[in-house]
Amino acid sequence: MRAFEPDSRLVGDVVASPHHGARIGCTAPDAIVLHYTGLPGGERDEAWRRDPGGEALKWLCDPRSQVSAHYLIEEDGRIIQLVPEARRAWHAGLSSWRGATDVNSLSIGVEIVNPGHAAGLPHFHERQIDGVIALCRDLITRHNIAPVRVLAHSDVSPGRKVDPGERFPWAELAFSGVGHWVEPAPLEDDSPLVFGEEGQPVRALQAMLALYGYGLPLTGVYDKTTRDVVAAFQRHFRQQRVDGAADVSTVKTLHEVLMGIRD
């Protein structure tokens, strides 16, 4: 018998994780946070490289981890549910979006099996992305989730998290009706705003990033937080170069992203 009835007809299996609690301040999710499973680092890496899906699943249920997600998507596209959608899963950690700091309470967490940056960012499998798209479409329909609220873990935890990374196919998702996307402006030869600069252009950049939802104060100083948030934006919307420098292409793309909001 299954530990609980799955919320989606797309679920292939239920493997219950004990790591969840009541949603705080809201009863239903209105955002999706996408992750990759990554590698744990150290001596456990070998086992994770051999069986990344199996090891990730074990870890998300292991009392030592104190982490979970609502869903895990295997490399072959199989969808496993670990936590009921009505419950608050423990996937985002310290995070912020549009002023809210308890992102776990307002979101559905989806872990995608991929070893990530530590393994040189291997591409996601086609069938796996089909699974991500199908699941997200189902979540968006059932919970009425706005396109701008389909987020990367790196969007809500910039500087701390880099998943699902700059190879994640956000454009492909958007073409299938998942998430907000604009074509990135081409790279130009220009002198970008960079770490250490101060003044009105920096404050204007910070204001635009905060308007979209990123958690950063408007200090007018291109500090570490600003650099981390610019890198997070690039990882999602301007993947050709992720360096945390606000070049013309990045700023133009940010303008377009803001212009295109419909929610």
Q: Which one, 153 or 238, has the nearer CB to Zn ion?
A: 153
Q: H or E element: which one contains 177? A: none
Shortest Cβ 179–Zn ion spacing (Å): 16
Looking at 19, 153, 236, 238, which residue binds Zn ion (CB under 5 A)? 153
Residue with tokens 């990730």: 56
The amino acid at residue 4 is F
Structure tokens at 111: 């872990």
Is 35 a binding residue for Zn ion by CB under 5 A? The answer is yes
Q: Which one, 35 or 222, has the nearer CB to Zn ion?
A: 35
* Residue least distant from Zn ion (Cβ): 35
Q: Is 107 helix (H, G, I), strand (E, B) or coil?
A: strand
Is 88 a binding residue for Zn ion by CB under 5 A? The answer is no
Show the CA angle centred on residue 168, arms to residues 123 and 42, nearest 5°.
65
Is 163 a binding residue for Zn ion by CB under 5 A? The answer is yes
**Helices 200-212 and 224-237 meet at what angle, rounded to 10?**
50
Residues in contact with Zn ion, counted by CB under 5 A, come to a total of 3
Shortest Cβ 38–Zn ion spacing (Å): 7
Kindly list the catalytic residues.
111
Query: Cβ distance 229 to 209 under 8 Å?
Result: yes
Q: Residue 198 gets which letter from DSSP?
A: B
Shortest Cβ 119–Zn ion spacing (Å): 15
Q: Which one, 152 or 193, has the nearer CB to Zn ion?
A: 152
Shortest Cβ 204–Zn ion spacing (Å): 30
Query: Cβ distance 201 to 248 under 8 Å?
Result: no
Question: Which chain residues interact with Zn ion by CB under 5 A?
Answer: 35, 153, 163
